[in-house]
Amino acid sequence: MNLHEYQAKDILRRFGVTTPQGEVVTTPEAAREAATKFGGPVMVKAQVHVGGRGKAGGVKFCTTADEAYEKASNILGMSIKGLTVTKVLIAPAADIVSEAYVGIIVDRARKKPVFMVSAAGGIDIEEVAATTPEKIRYHAVDVRYGLMPFEALELGFFLYQDAKLARAAAKVMQQLYAAFMATGCSLAEINPLVVTPAGDVVALDGKMVVDDNELERRADLEALRDVESENPAEVDARNHNLTFIKLDGNVGCIVNGAGLAMATMDLVKYYGGEPANFLDIGGSSNPEKVVNALRLITADPNVKAILFNIFGGITRTDDVANGIVTAIKSNPLKVPLIIRLTGTNEEIAMQILKQNGLSASSDMDEAVKEAVRLAAAASGGTAA
Amino acid sequence: MNLHEYQAKDILRRFGVTTPQGEVVTTPEAAREAATKFGGPVMVKAQVHVGGRGKAGGVKFCTTADEAYEKASNILGMSIKGLTVTKVLIAPAADIVSEAYVGIIVDRARKKPVFMVSAAGGIDIEEVAATTPEKIRYHAVDVRYGLMPFEALELGFFLYQDAKLARAAAKVMQQLYAAFMATGCSLAEINPLVVTPAGDVVALDGKMVVDDNELERRADLEALRDVESENPAEVDARNHNLTFIKLDGNVGCIVNGAGLAMATMDLVKYYGGEPANFLDIGGSSNPEKVVNALRLITADPNVKAILFNIFGGITRTDDVANGIVTAIKSNPLKVPLIIRLTGTNEEIAMQILKQNGLSASSDMDEAVKEAVRLAAAASGGTAA
Amino acid sequence: MSVFIDQDTKLVVQGITGRDGSFHTKQMMQYGTQVVAGVTPGKGGQSFEDTVPIFNTVSEAVQASGANTAVIYVPPPYAADAIMEAAASGVSLVVCITEGVPVLDMTRVYAFVKERGVRLLGPNCPGLISPGQSKVGIIPGRICTPGPVGVVSRSGTLTYEVVYQLTSAGIGQTSCVGIGGDPINGTNFIDCLEAFERDPATKAIAMMGEIGGTDEQEAAEYVRDKMKKPVVGFIAGQTAPPGRRMGHAGAIISGSAGTAAEKIESFEQCGIGVAKRPMDFVELIKARLPKT
Amino acid sequence: MSVFIDQDTKLVVQGITGRDGSFHTKQMMQYGTQVVAGVTPGKGGQSFEDTVPIFNTVSEAVQASGANTAVIYVPPPYAADAIMEAAASGVSLVVCITEGVPVLDMTRVYAFVKERGVRLLGPNCPGLISPGQSKVGIIPGRICTPGPVGVVSRSGTLTYEVVYQLTSAGIGQTSCVGIGGDPINGTNFIDCLEAFERDPATKAIAMMGEIGGTDEQEAAEYVRDKMKKPVVGFIAGQTAPPGRRMGHAGAIISGSAGTAAEKIESFEQCGIGVAKRPMDFVELIKARLPKT
């Protein structure tokens, strides 16, 4: 789960990191008020869960409160990579001597949280990695010991020659690490970490991604979720324990298991079709889940055929069959339905489908081909 | 540094352990007031830093407030193993279904904090260890991971068959461990940990010993020190960075280094004498330390001879010589002084002593023999 | 022959009285797995299906039953502790089925099990099966049959699909191992490839990977440098939208974006047969099996 | 010959610009120890006594200087971190002189250095000296002379006393090692006995113990079971009042009250010569040295 910049900064501040106290507003008027209150020049920053908001025009520097009003008017309501901006952060602009990058991420290969720090901050860290990799230092943290003072200081000295700044940066590393661990993050970043003319080390931007698996046991983290700023269909899916990602194709896919779901989508593509979505109904099946899955898929007008691919292991295929029957009874489908079922209780499932005038294949390849064919035909048909 | 029972309980309570909220009082009147407030029967418990206060009559059960007044009158002012009781804890008495022992100590051999738990609590754990060692379970904690939930539960099930009680005890183990670590303890004990008729798991007594080495960096712990309840000479010594332990002999010993100090005392004994104290002036010498050491030793009327044994390494023997001269100039000694000096700046030291009419040996064996002889002679003389 | 489990596997089930635990324990017992003990704190002294003794702690269970393998069906917030309890109890293999274990928990768990030299499979994995001998986890027993192919996969149902195809075509398996798709897991592709290479009964290996991370690329290099047996691979996720999981910083650290194209290329460069569709495994494996 | 340090020892001094650090660094340099680097964060780039380069971090210092040993003179609250920094830097021996390191810090440090296979001596120890070759720590160089006796001790000045007596009697030392008297230390008696047994130049060992713990008893058993070379021992604290340090629970865990009487008895039972007085070492060692 992505946190907004202002949320990440609130957390960092709680762990002792110095970061300008901004204000989140939803109207241009409030933006003007906040800017007036802060006095000096301010930044107006879109709070959306996408990268590259600066390049998209979602971050603006303003010298006056009126300018803040004007920029906020432009940014609020703007769409960045498909997401509408409903909040902007107004924060005092800071004078800057230098900009550094400090981030932590859980690394699959090392099985540890890994720090990435670079004195070349402010810009995209990917670019630094690509062009001047020697400017990035990595440090894997042994979670059994935590980030030790000497390790933090080594990172501090990598950023700054000056011992006072190095010590201040070391402190920020430890605060960031503490925040990262306490917040159950998979990523936490300060970019840029700046030195002010007064010699203070300050976090001008903050980014945190919380591990979704933490949310079940951490109501405090779940409370940080900003449902408004997410794709409504994906929110809907999550609320029904489905994993759903919207794509641009016309073959709606409902599969159990992420690997099989991806393989199904790949096979759609292989046969010349385009998947309309990724949708994993997960392991333990119940008819309700299937009903919700169908509702999500059919809400997409691009979908011209619906493909079920269910390999029953824990998932009982009769549950899936019942779900399908229930769903189409109350809400008849307007597009062709192709069902592939095999595994646990397959015979019962086939029986249920048959009794309700539906048929199913037990062969994945056949089913996918058929779905692609029907979607193409339907698209051709409706286009006529 | 030993904490009082009430201090230990305050800390345990802060970490979530259930323990009766008592009141510390210094007068019988206040004891009556507290007992009246609690209503039911109470315990009156001497707050002194020694073991075995129960056997010494320092812990009493009282059914009425008047009885609490009476028992408090008896206990306050009482001397237990040489320490005067100035405070008593008045705590509501609890009905008890069973008593267990739970303790943690830093173990030299395992280099880890080690839990000791036993369902045979309430009595002296030493006795359990001696008579029924199978009733004690040990568990070494890997501090890199802390006490893990499954480990705590294993200990809980060792104490109680009942899962609810085992879980409650497991929680207490984790709270005790957290308190132990956060308080920089070398020992923390709950004895007894009781089960009440209502099925609650409650700490009726608590003991904590803080590692002296934590105190320098932990003002919050140093603030818990109860100077009144300690031996005044030892407090005085500590305030001057000396380690001093009072004994019963007549040869006062001033030595640099704990090992050499013990060896010197042993040699006094070997030659038929009795050391009057352990006194380590430590590594880095300065004349001031020597002056304070002499002041401490001469305050003991039993001392009939004073022996210096200084092996100069970091310690500069000329500093020691200067200290001796300064001290006896302002406060002439009434007992013989035997000095053994060797090592760093030995020649200068000998010169200083000679100029002030003192002499010194460089041989430890000789010096100890002489001190024992002179102390014996002086004791014989004064005894006449 | 097989890898990791066989007819001598003695299993303790953590969470044996839970919904998933009890269901799958019955399945495993039906398949023939020696389930020697179960653990549910507070139910110590009872028994499961009147035959399997239940204990309060794993260590008691292992001492009493001689179990050498543990399988975990406990809810995600308790899974990390359950893995460490198993690893400390004396078993040599721990299989964690639980999905949704927080990744920071796993950073601790990984260090803990490695220190003890215990093999962890999972979390978030379907477990493993050595057809005809033993099954630990949730892989449906009836889709498998004994034979010469070692199967290793990051995903659950995709594994079933491939195994089902192989079995339908008359190609049996030595062992099928689901390593799980979480960012930090106990056993990776290389561990399994190594074991299959050593197992005399395994003649060819089917490997199913996914987008994300670089495990498949490292596995491919391992195949190229260390293995004599033929390997056929598949990567799921060619059509998956990029950047949904780890973002950019992860890609920088691993030195790769972990795309399907990259992984397939690395398979090709390292002499691994590439299955374009799950069903292609049948022909590719058949061509690589020794003629009998 | 010697143990742990010799003429090839290259030393980095942590806290080189501090009061104790600078004093003892000069002493070590005078003795002939190769001091190749110093560390004081913020003074990187400067030099000590115009000859020894100073670095901000130990890892930089080790990389630049090739140091293989670190010695620590930093205040107690920072000592644990300094030990771990040294252990992570690549040196194989870390000597911590600092007194007053909190014991819970040491529980972490001990695990950390053991994992890395780094030898830690101390904390709260005088260090060690291999007469004529190298000295690391604070043992006064002039009381030592090269010769055939290995010395190991828990205390500082008592060691000096014994070494002084030996040297005065013309008996030299291969190495004198002060292991320190703290409850948790990195190197114990057995580690040193093992090293002395292996060192061809060492012909006899003098060992000074103290009350508390059971290290001396375990060392005695080691001498009995594993050693061929003669050992003479002494225990300080026969007259010390009991129970001042660890209380009763500690004695229960260790299975011993750690009294001098117990330790001396265990020496006698294991064939260790017992020095009743520090000065008795001279005759006892002399009697056990091979006649030349």
Chains with 3+ CB–CB pairs under 8 A to B are: A, C, D
Q: For A360-381, how does the pLDDT look when each residue is reduced to its tens digit (9 = 90+)?
A: 998 999 999 999 999 999 887 5
Instruction: Let me know whether A144 and A256 are in one domain.
Output: no
Residues A212 and A262 in one domain: no
CA distance D24 to chain A (A): 23
Residue B243 and residue B361 in one domain = yes
Buried b (16+ CB within 10 A) or exposed e, A151-178: bbbbbbbbbbeebebbbbbbbbbbbbbb
Report the relative pairing of strands C173-178 and C146-153 from DSSP bridges. parallel
pTM score of the predicted model: 0.93
Residues A215 and A260 in one domain: no
Whether residues B241 and B361 fall in one domain:
yes
Does one domain contain both B240 and B374? yes
pLDDT tens for the 384 residues of chain B, in order: 889 999 999 999 999 999 998 999 999 999 999 999 998 899 999 998 877 788 888 999 999 999 999 999 999 999 887 788 999 999 999 889 999 999 999 998 899 999 999 998 877 788 888 888 899 999 999 999 999 999 999 999 999 999 999 999 999 999 999 999 999 999 999 999 999 999 999 999 999 999 999 998 899 999 999 887 777 888 888 888 888 888 889 999 999 988 999 999 999 999 999 999 999 998 666 888 899 999 999 999 999 999 999 998 878 899 999 999 999 998 899 999 999 999 888 999 999 999 999 999 989 999 999 999 999 998 875 433
Q: Cβ neighbours of residue A86 under 8 Å, at least 6 residues apart? A: A26, A47, A76, A77, A228, A229
Query: pLDDT digits over A228-284, tens only?
Result: 777 788 888 888 888 888 888 999 999 998 889 999 999 999 999 999 999 999 866
> Is A372 inside any structural domain?
yes
The last residue of a domain, from among A71, A92, A113: A92
What are the chain A neighbours of C276 within 8 Å (beta carbons)? Answer: 270
What distance in Å separates the CA atoms of residue A179 and residue A210, rounded to the nearest whole number? Answer: 11
CB atoms D250 and B187 under 8 Å: yes
Q: How many interchain CB pairs under 8 A, B with D?
A: 177
Structure tokens, A78: 């703007």
Burial of C292 (0-12, 13-18, 19+ CB in 10 A): exposed
**CATH assignment of C10-121, among 3.40.50.300, 1.10.3720.10, 3.40.640.10, 3.40.50.720:** 3.40.50.720
Chain D residue with the nearest C-alpha to that of A154 = D57
Q: Do you know the residue count of chain D? A: 292
Cα separation, A237 vs D50, whole angstroms? 70
Q: How far apart are CA B208 and CA B211, in angstroms?
A: 10
Give backbone dihedrals phi and psi of D217, rounded to 5 degrees, phi first: -65, -40
CB contact under 8 A, D108 and A157: no
In the 8-state DSSP scheme, what is residue C22?
A: H
For D112, name the nearest residue in chain A, comparing CA atoms only: A145
DSSP annotation string for A49-89 = S-S-TTTTT-EEEESSHHHHHHHHHHHTT-EETTEE---EE
**Beta bridge partners of residue A187, listed in sequence order:** A105, A209
- Asked if A145 and B145 come within 8 Å (Cβ–Cβ), the reply is no
Topology at the third CATH level for domain C139-288: Rossmann fold (3.40.50)
What distance in Å separates the CA atoms of residue A317 and residue A311, rounded to the nearest whole number?
8
Torsion angle of the four alpha carbons B80, B85, B88, B94, in this order, in degrees rounded to the nearest 10: 0
pLDDT value at residue B314 = 79
Which residues of B touch chain C, with CB atoms under 8 Å apart? 145, 148-151, 153-154, 157, 163-164, 166-167
Q: Indicate whether A41 and A157 sit together in one domain.
A: no
Domain boundary assignment for chain C: 10-121, 139-288
Residues of A in contact with C157 (CB under 8 A): 255-257, 259-260, 311, 313, 315
Residues of chain B neighbouring A145 (CB-CB closer than 8 A) = 144
Q: How many domains does chain A have?
A: 3
Q: Which positions of A are catalytic?
A: 101, 189
Name every residue whose Cβ is closer than 8 Å to that of residue A155 and which is 6 or more positions away in sequence. Answer: A102, A115, A117, A137, A139, A169, A170, A173
Whether the CB-CB separation of B88 and B5 falls below 8 Å is answered with no
Mutate to test the interface with D, among B111, B114, B147, B222 (most CBs of D within 10 A): B111
Q: Are B188 and B146 contained in the same domain?
A: yes
A146, A183: one domain: yes
Task: Report the residue from D103, D160, D238 with minimal CB separation from B311.
Answer: D160
User: For B146, which residue in chain A has the nearest alpha carbon?
Assistant: A144
Strand blocks (E) in chain C:
10-14, 34-39, 47-48, 52-55, 69-72, 93-96, 119-121, 127-130, 134-137, 146-153, 173-178, 204-210, 231-236, 273-274
Please tell me the distance from the alpha carbon of residue C128 to that of residue C114, in angstroms, as a whole number.
20
CATH of the domain at B180: 3.30.470.20
B118 in the same domain as B26: no
User: What φ, ψ does residue A253 adopt, rounded to 5°?
Assistant: -120, 130
Q: Is the pLDDT of residue C258 over 90?
A: no
Number of neighbouring beta carbons within 10 Å of residue D219: 27
3-state DSSP call for residue B254?
strand
Task: Tell me how far apart the alpha carbons of residues A24 and A240 are, in angstroms, rounded to a whole number.
Answer: 31
Please tell me whether residues A78 and A181 are part of one structural domain.
no
pLDDT score for D247: 40
Contacts of A154 (CB under 8 A, 6+ apart): A139, D57, D59
pLDDT, position A383 = 34
Residues of A in contact with B144 (CB under 8 A): 144-145
**CA distance readout (Å), D277 to A373, B265, D284:** 100, 11, 11
Any domain includes A330: yes
Q: Which residues of B touch D99 (CB under 8 A)?
A: 283
Burial class, B248, CB count within 10 angstroms (exposed 0-12 / middle 13-18 / buried 19+): exposed
Q: Which residues of B are catalytic?
A: 101, 189
User: Can you give the CATH number for the domain in which A87 is found?
Assistant: 3.30.1490.20
Among the listed ranges A212-216, B177-181, D175-179, which one has the minimum average pLDDT value?
A212-216
Name the token pair of D106: 């040491």
Q: Which domain holds residue B196?
A: 98-222
Please choose, from the candidates C159, C177, C203, the residue with its C-alpha nearest in 3D space to the C-alpha of residue C5.
Answer: C177
Q: Do B145 and C85 touch (CB under 8 A)?
A: no
Residue pair A46/A72 in contact (Cβ under 8 Å)? The answer is: no
Give the model's pLDDT for residue C25: 97
CB D50 within 8 A of CB D57: no
Residue C253 has pLDDT above 70, yes or no: no
Closest CA–CA distance from residue B158 to any residue of chain C (Å): 11
**Across residues C64-85, what is the average pLDDT?**
97
